[in-house]
A and B are shown apart, each in its own frame.
Chain A
Amino acid sequence: MNIFRFAGDMTHLISILILLLKIYATKSCAGISLKTQELYALVFLTRYLDLFTDYVSLYNSVMKIVFIASSLAIVWCMRRHPLVRRSYDKDLDTFRHQYVVLACFVLALVLHERFTFQEVFWAFSIYLEAVAILPQLVLLQRSGNVDNLTGQYVLFLGAYRGLYIINWIYRYFTEDHFARWIACVSGLIQTALYADFFYYYYLSRIKQDTIMRL
């Protein structure tokens, strides 16, 4: 474990908690894509299949449970909470994410580290996390609503990606044979898509602020 990865995990967790608290506090999820949040929950559920079989460290096991619980809590809030679910942009959040899930699964069947049940699902979760932001990006382009996507959320999400890339560079130079190419390449694609999301986020933010000022 290095400080970059620890900080990356913390900023990732904080971004999820910021979103959960924002939805719970305002009892609104306007502008938030349920499909992206479902994909994130699926990412954690398929990546942490080794929760009960491989013990890496207490930190690792605790964080897996926290990520699964917090991502499911957001999905539950948006689907079941009587007040929150009313504000969901159902007719705008129409990205057909099932095709993305299928494409990632096929890719995982072809490209993985070992052809075992857990490894195929691990690769699937890595690919899926890279593209999970797409429904949110599409919804943001359509709705331009950044009310619930706070600046802090975007900031911590960006910090998570940046710190993980530094972590990979650090591990590449300090550990012999650090070769998690699937995670690194997919992570770079994910970061590029996040950069696109951040671009549209700030455009929407500026547009919203301008309208507010007029």
Chain B
Amino acid sequence: ITHTPQFLGLHLGEGLWNAPTLASDVIIGIVDTGIWPEHVSFKDSSISQVPSRWKGTCEEGTKFSVANCNKKLIGARAFYKGYETIVGRINETMDYRSPRDFNGHGTHTASTAAGNLVHNANFLGMAKGLASGMSYTSRIAAYKACWRRGCTNSDLLAAIDRAVADGVDVLSLSLGGFSKPYYSDNIAIATFGAVQNGVFVSCSAGNSGPFSSSVSNAAPWIMTVAASYIDRSFPTTVKLGNGKTFEGSSLYSGKRTKQLPLVYASTAGGQLAQFCINDSLVPKLVKGKIVACEQGINSRAEKEEQVKNAGGAGMLLLNAEIYGEELLADSHTLPATSLGASAGKAIKNYVRLNKNPTASIMFRGTVYGNIAPVMAAFSSRGPSLVGRDVIKPDITAPGVNILAAWPPKTIPSLLKNDKRSILFNIISGTSMSCPHVSGLAALLKSIHKDWSPAAIKSALMTTAYVLNSKRAPIADIASNSSKAATPFAFGSGHVNPKCASDPGLIYDITSEDYLNYLCSLNYNSTQIALLSRGNFTCPNNVFLQPGDLNYPSFAVLLDQNASNTSVTYKRTVTNVGTPMSTYVVQVDEPNGVSVTVEPKCLKFENLGEKLSYNVRFNALRRTKSSTNFSFGCLIWMSEFYTVRSPIAVTW
């Protein structure tokens, strides 16, 4: 990846990217579509011998042999038995029946987490710079469990099970399904076993935003990652015949268009021509013109295909209202740009009111310095449907227009006639943000070898920031950046690796704590055994409530109708900062709630010392116009550290 390391404060030879940190052996397992092993991002120069503890291997298969692995890519396996029972035998003209990546997604995510340094990486001249994974000296083990039509649970579980047995330290899963109770969610079950084995698990939150409660991979032992825009963009300028201009986004690498006739809906074709679906565009209406296509029904690539086939000279991709000003950059093969919902509305009106509408598109290349981060509209949102007592997603990392490694034989656009071969591609999704966090977790693991997965998670969460580059609250692009994003969009905030490496305090959680949490959800013994694998019984005479899970954030459920209701949660923090330190609490109370913390001051005398506090959330009188949610935060502050936990109250 280019630029995001710098955006996150990582610089060669400094801080987390200094020699001692990078010398440590951390192995990241990527469960995805495989890997392109010859890619320059996976060269093993300057990397030491493979650690003796590693039990993995490189499995032979189609166009993949043991020789494809090296000291960087130390393991590669493929899992397809489940897939083939559902879909049929893998068509080897469409995929490799081996760990080799046909799709590109796995190569992209692997290099984002731990790709080696590559100078002058770029996509058709754009986003040019030094590319590197977040933890560029970490080892990679690729577990291919995703194929042309998706990933079956049976293959994913085999991949996770094998990765843990092989000895990975971090697992990265940029995939998911519908959320369901943990005891029937195979990914939740398998990742719990991974965490029990000391493996940090990072999963993408999903791309079903901005709809509420769309978050997936929401088990509390998983780090659930949302996606943001960084300060880099690929802007375009669309100029209409009436002189109005709009900013869009595109990875088209050619020249600007002339001012050309603009067609849309009935002026471009028949029924549903506004969506540019198959056979909806009429060539004689479209040829040589710019076609406006609305988001929806078919994919962006299919719309481009239709415009090209009908002889269009350009395309404007107009956002649906729900996605606001989201501007994803696509690698178009004809002059095309995406545009936000407000531009879309203006353009549709312009076409309707003018007999001879025209437009031009200018491509402005790579631009840096935008206000950032901003939450992506597509990033899935909380509250979690299956665990309202935990804020999900947990954290945010860059996930929009991310450049990373790409197989040279995989076309970048999903278009049938695209013949381009590239080494780096720019794509978007929580799939892209997840491996950022996986790589950062590997960096923390290399410094703090004895930290549990929960401790690493806590460090990343309590040091995350919630203000953008202009010191204003991080905005949500789904609201046209007019509203601040909430913890149900960004979790604890935007990841801040430098601070995470030295968080001061951590909220640690043991496997037993997680199981007690499941007991507090009133899971029966079978459901508990599914996760514990059979060696745990819920305690009988202990009061357990879900809110007591020692989580680094607070999700509070209060009864709307009962006045003066309150809940009290207990937390325990471990001192990992300076031995003698005093922390004082500071609370930003959510609307309609008073928050009382006891004690208000924590005095530590030793490293590793644990101290507990109680926090009481008391519902105040609410007005009818109040929303169902209110947000605040609780911060422990010392001379050197700020340990922040968001509070989300659901009424």
Q: Do A and B come from the same complex?
A: no
Which A residues are within 8 Å of any B CB, using their own CB?
A: none
